């Protein structure tokens, strides 16, 4: 990530992880926001595909770690599913032209 907006995203992700470290077991909200904003980011960012995948993988790991505490929360589980779908879309090898 090289642009100023990428720096802001990186800072935002770091702050989100700080909140998760302090209260992630009590509330799923930060996980949900982190997942949804990351999905939005990879959809509009001019970052390289490997950088986008790295971001989504990092957030996926965080949501996996938060799953035991929040697996009964519908918002959390939907955010996790949306993030997984975004990851699969990014990681899928490109198909033949025209697909």
pTM of the model: 0.82
Mean pLDDT by 10 residues, the chain (99 residues): 66 85 87 93 89 92 93 96 95 72
Q: What is the pLDDT of residue 23?
A: 84
- Cβ atoms of 34 and 13 within 8 Å: the answer is yes
List of E strands, the chain: none
pLDDT of residue 5: 65
pLDDT score at 1: 44
Q: What is the pLDDT of residue 7?
A: 75
């Amino acid at each position: 990530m090289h642009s100023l907006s990428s720096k802001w995203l990186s800072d935002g992700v770091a702050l989100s992880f700080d909140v998760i470290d302090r209260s992630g077991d009590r509330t799923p909200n930060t996980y949900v926001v982190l997942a949804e904003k990351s999905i939005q980011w990879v959809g509009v960012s001019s970052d390289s595909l490997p950088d986008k995948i790295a971001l989504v993988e990092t957030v996926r790991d965080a949501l996996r770690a938060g799953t035991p505490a929040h697996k009964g929360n519908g918002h959390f589980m939907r955010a996790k599913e949306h993030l997984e779908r975004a990851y699969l879309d990014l990681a899928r090898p490109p198909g033949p032209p025209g697909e």
